[in-house]
A and B are shown apart, each in its own frame.
Chain A
Amino acid sequence: MPSSAREDRRPLLRRIDRLAVASFSVLTLLLGIYWVHQVLRGDDYARQAENNRQRSVPINASRGFILDRNGKLLAENEPSFTLLLYRRETRDVEASLRFVAELLGRPLEELRRRVERTRGGYDFVPVASAIDLSIAEVGAVEAHALEHPELVVQTTERRVYTQGTVLAHLLGYLGEASPEQLASRAGRVRSGESIGQRGIEAAYQDLLSGTSGLRTFVIDSFGREVAELDRIDPLPGNTLVLNVDLDLQRIADDYFRDKVGSAVALDPRTGEILALVSAPAFDPNVFSRRVTRAEWQAIIGNEDRPMQNRAIQNVFSPGSVWKAFVAYAALTNGISASETTFCPGFATFYGRRFRCHGAHGTVDLPRALQVSCDVWFYNAGRRLGVDALAEAARTFGFGRPTGVDLASEKAGNVPSTAWSQSVRKHPWYPGETISVAIGQGPLLVSALQTARAFSALANEDGALPVPHLFRIGEHVRSGARVAYRPPVTERVPFPPGVRETIVEGLWRVVNQPGGTAFRYRAEGLDACGKTGTVQVVAQKQAKMTHQLPEKLRDHAWFAAFAPREDARIVVVVFVENGMHGSSAAAPLAMRLIEAHLRPGSVPIPEPPAAPLPEATPPGGTTTAERGATPPATRTGA
């Protein structure tokens, strides 16, 4: 070429050399960068890649069933369906939610809230958008699987309480673990997991829950499972057998259908709780599914506080039931059983007139118990002083929790001079002792404490057992058993003849004419008991109690055991605003005793509502208010 002959090629060659140096430097630099990432930091990235592709999800263990002492099923599990939304499978989460809301008739707001709550996670983690679908709803969702691949139905288990409201306070319910519960059970409970709340479900959470398994699998970038890598099967929870007798429980529950109060039945020899009812109750099944706003409002808006376990959490004055323990204080402090007092219908102490509910004439201790003569006990109380009464009360376990295997038990209150000084900051007035002697005043006891104390009267050896619901935990796979291990039993020391004297009085209450519960005796049961009535308003105003508003009417107590010798059952019934211990509380107590001592003699009522709640049908209304029925009508006596 002519042009190239003239051309000076040296500048070009020089530029090529420089370009070569520059470009090979760039390539070397890039190689160095890859060296850093692949060789120096390769392990770190390899771990990140593994985290990327592996997912581990816990497999929930089946929660243990709960049975009554005769093997009747109280709590089990049933399959439940949860709708999951895979965020990455949909371009428009909002549109998906709108579709779900329309298909299932659920409020869009609620679905949005659920999705919002899980925002922090990766977008390809499934988001529970609506829990608890009915079979019909599952079908409806599956029918749209093609247009809505982001919606997936997951099968889980739901707790079912076969008896509905009947054992509500006793069993408790399941609910999502609170932050505090997560902290106190670190490592044993996962965030979002349902654990026992209250009752047996809470007390034996660890036995019931089992051990969850773990499934590890490979996912693609959409979070879709590609292959399973590893699987650790869950260990199901233990089956729990309780001491409760479902028949007794149902009888008590049925009795309280229209009342407010509590009832406890114990085996005095062991402390086994045969029945424990608190009314009004709630349906624990409500918490196993979605709790609707209406349901929750119905529960917390009810002024009778259905969530409260009245048998252990409410404490009241014991009224005349208390006289059994004043009798013990009297007999162990030098007052003879045969000492008599004349009752003209009142007594005057410290210049104040104290009424008796009748003029009983000359009474000794057994008769004073039989007719519940206040005057005899006023005199005994005045002679003994409040501290002797307090000591006797504490001997029978009052003023402290019984140790029952349920949480939030109240201790109650046993007043004494020391208590007055330290708590009330003023001296004890002797006049108060007169009130305490008949179970009024600042004395506060729970139904369960009373039942435990009566066990000591029922037992010949004065044993004061710890009430308990737990009987046996049995491992489903291995059959290994955990049985209840009683703590060392306390005893109430009875000098010779003391227990017999008190029991004689209590026997007469039920079995002799003039006894306050004579009307409710049952032939051959040989029951011993004590009625009690607690004034809500001062006695002077209380003359026409039937005309008082319901909330101001007297509370009714009845505590009993049977048979007289070798007692096998103690029953305490407390009816708020029930007016008379005999008429409001005694009938149930006698019915429970009869049902326990003569199985089959008392008809067992059916549980109230359909125990298995069906989830909301598509577009339907929710079944609200079940289990939280406010006591609409309550009859006085």
Chain B
Amino acid sequence: MSRLADALPRRVDVPLLFSAVALSAAGLAMVVSTTSGTARGGLGGRQALFLLAGVVAASFFALFDYRLLLRASPALFLVSLLPLVWLPVFGPTIAGAKSWIRLFGGFQVQPSELARIATVLLLAWILENDDRPYLSTRTVAALVGVVALPIGLILLQPDLGVALTYVPFLLAALYLGGLRPRVWAGLVLAGSLAAGASWFVLKDYQKDRIRTFLDPDLAARGAGYQVRQARIAIGSGGIAGKGWKEGTQSRLGFLPVRHSDFIFAALAEERGFVGVAAVIGLYGLYLARGFGVARDARDRGGSMLVLLVVLNVAAQAAANVAMNVGVLPTTGITLPFVSYGGSSIIATWAMTGLVLSVAQRRFVNV
């Protein structure tokens, strides 16, 4: 016991680590269940490899002093934007979007996911430097700019799902930094106008998704078909679920993109409400520990970093869970830790490493 404790870095936040590991394990199990025996072959091995890479990245960030990273964040941010600038122009078109860079061995990397790490660091750094009760206009402008830049570049690919995952960053940063109520009102107004204007920019299939969301039964066979099938998968899981690899909706292909966007529906079908409650509970634990670490962080930058990370993960998770059951429109937001996908797994784990880094260096009365 003592030897194991010595081997681990001091003051590892075990509940936080546990929630991340448990979610990853549940995800791996579901990726195996939803992809084995299909024409593409099982993706479990690859997902395990991604998790391993994610844990390595997390360890790296956990051991590194986050303050160094905060200070280097402007430079890191600019570097991380380079592939995003390059992609829309020169990137290969894969699945209708220029979102990926091909690597060796058939692996692809999605720079939009990795830029998330630099973005969160830079936002925390900006907030660190404005510690008055309410943010200055300059800081607000800086925050908006830092988030808008990657969002704009990602929309050019286009990848609405990933672009949307950057929005919680901005909202969280503004809220945590502090805004006067009238500034909030102005922002909400501007946001609504932008959303209204965006209707004219959205692609037809994206509009379809929103219409479908508004009336799923109307489009029972088009895009609404997916939502309906996902809901049947979820509901038919009942309390205890149909059992691992026993989900008929998922195994027989009625559930769309079941190893990625709709993996939670597959989990709900095979593991039932018990599994759903466990997974949502794990996100709750992750979030709760994040709040705890943020409270105890030794500096404002650390607090902000942790809060931005856990709120982003939780917001993504909540959006995905809501989307699976048809409460939000289908937007391609994946379930962090759980959905198949290397870049998302590695980015999420790396950011979790940042949280662990802050946790290790907190003030505690030992």
Contact = CB atoms under 8 A, between A and B. Distances in A.
B178 A19 contact: no
A45 B236 contact: yes
Contacts of B341: none
Contacts of A303: none
A181 interface: no
A186 interface: no
- Judged by DSSP, the binding face of A is helix
A18 to B, nearest CB: 9
Contacts of B239: 38-39, 42
A189 B11 CA distance: 76
Nearest to B283: A27
B16 to A, nearest CB: 15
Contacts of B277: 31, 34
B291 interface: yes
A34 B276 contact: yes
B280 A52 contact: no
Given A49-B249, A219-B252, A11 B235 contact: no
A3 B128 contact: yes
B237 A15 contact: no
A3 B294 CA distance: 16
A109 interface: no
B46 interface: no
Interface in A24-60: 24, 26-27, 30-31, 33-35, 37-39, 41-46, 48-50, 52-53
Contacts of B307: 16, 19
Contact of B175 (A4, A7, A9, A15): A15
A459 B54 CA distance: 104
A344 B184 CA distance: 126
B7 to A, nearest CB: 29
Interface in B285-328: 287-288, 291, 294-295, 298-300, 303, 307, 311, 314, 318, 321-322, 325, 327
Interface stretch (B187-195, B208-216, B226-234): B226-234
Contacts of A37: 231, 234-235, 325
A300 interface: no
B268 interface: yes
A4 B296 CA distance: 12
A39 B273 CA distance: 7
A49 B236 CA distance: 6
B13 to A, nearest CB: 16
Contacts of A222: 253
A1 B280 contact: no
Interface in A358-393: none
B271 to A, nearest CB: 10
- Judged by DSSP, the binding face of B is helix
Contacts of A219: 252
Contacts of A33: 322, 325, 327
Contact of A221 (B252, B268, B283, B311): B252
Contact of B298 (A1, A31, A38, A123): A1
Given A7-B300, A15-B176, A38 B284 contact: no
B158 interface: no
B350 to A, nearest CB: 22
Interface residues of B, number: 48
Interface residues of A, number: 44
B71 interface: no
Contacts of B291: 16, 19-20
A54 B284 CA distance: 38
Contacts of A3: 128, 131, 299-300
B235 A41 contact: yes
A30 B248 CA distance: 24
B254 interface: yes
A362 to B, nearest CB: 91
B102 interface: no
A34 B131 contact: no
Contact of A123 (B175, B221, B232, B236): B221
30 contacts: A4-B298, A7-B300, A8-B131, A9-B300, A12-B176, A12-B300, A15-B176, A16-B307, A20-B287, A24-B284, A24-B287, A30-B318, A34-B273, A34-B325, A38-B238, A38-B239, A38-B268, A38-B272, A39-B273, A42-B237, A42-B239, A43-B238, A45-B231, A45-B234, A49-B236, A50-B248, A52-B232, A218-B252, A221-B252, A226-B252
Given A4-B298, A49-B235, A52-B249, 7 more contacts: A12-B176, A30-B318, A38-B276, A45-B231, A45-B234, A45-B236, A46-B235
Interface of A: 1, 3-4, 6-9, 11-13, 15-16, 19-20, 23-24, 26-27, 30-31, 33-35, 37-39, 41-46, 48-50, 52-53, 123, 218-222, 226
Interface of B: 128, 131, 133, 172, 175-176, 178, 221, 229, 231-239, 248-249, 252-254, 268, 272-273, 276-277, 280, 283-284, 287-288, 291, 294-295, 298-300, 303, 307, 311, 314, 318, 321-322, 325, 327
The 6 closest A-B pairs by CB, nearest first: A45-B235, A49-B236, A221-B253, A42-B238, A38-B273, A220-B252
